[in-house]
Structure 1
């Protein structure tokens, strides 16, 4: 999937998690939570030097890409565990907002990439690819429709939670 689809997925996932956990009340905590959801939605593509995350961490991205390949370690349970451990090691008033937001974004990224023809290696280092039975090609019209649906879902959840207060 492309970056804009991952961003919409991360925002929708963060809004859904916010609904489930009765998320942060204050504006600063909400900004950290949703910002972390957006960041987490792009982080797994550290393994792709031309992605947004890859361009921001060029040397590290090239190292990960050459060492592990695309959609392997950063699209696996190991990456989720690393995010949990690193976010859990932070001690600030925003720690939980950051942790849950990042997790929502990262997990949404993995689910979306599992819905592409290539799938992901979720059990890395076991070389097994996971792909949804319903999948699409990256950059296709179907992906554009998925991105639009995720945007609408995110807007509905955000409006429900922050405007309508229901």
Structure 2
């Protein structure tokens, strides 16, 4: 999936998770939480030097790409555990917001990439690819439709939570 689809997926996942976990209510905590959700939705593509995350961290991205390849370690349970571990090291005032936001974004990224023809290696270092039975090619019209649906879902979830208070 492309960056914009991941971004919409991360925002929608963060909004959905926010309802389940009775997430942050103060504005500064919400900004941190949703920002972390968006960042988390782009972070697994550190393994791809031409991605948004790869371009922001060129040296790290090239190292991860050459060492592990694309959609391996950063698209696995190991990466999820690393996000949790690093989040637990952060300043306590925002660590919960950051941790849950990042997790919502990262998990949405992995689910969306599992819906592509290539799938992901979630159990890395075991070389088994996981792919949804319903999948699409990255950059296809179907992905564009998915991105639009995720944008509508994110807007609806955010409106429900922050405007209509349902």
- Using structure 1 for the length normalisation, give the TM-score: 0.99
Q: Secondary structure at the match of 1:22?
A: coil
Cα RMSD after superposing both structures? 0.5
Partner of residue 91, structure 2: 91
Quick one: distance in 1 between partners of 2:131 and 2:108?
Answer: 14
1:45-64 matches, cutoff 5 A: 45-64=45-64
Number of residue-to-residue matches in the alignment: 166
Gaps of 5+ in 2: none
Per-residue deviation, residues 130-163 of structure 1 (Å, max 9, x unmatched): 0000000000000000000000011000000001
1:35-114 matches, cutoff 5 A: 35-114=35-114
Quick one: distance in 1 between partners of 2:159 and 2:65?
Answer: 39
Shift of 1:92: 2.7
**Pair 1:6-2:10 in alignment:** no
Shift of 1:23: 1.0
Partner of residue 121, structure 1: 121
Gaps of 5+ in 1: none
Moved more, 149-158 or 87-96: 87-96
**Pair 1:31-2:28 in alignment:** no
Q: Which runs of 4+ in 1 moved over 2 A?
A: none
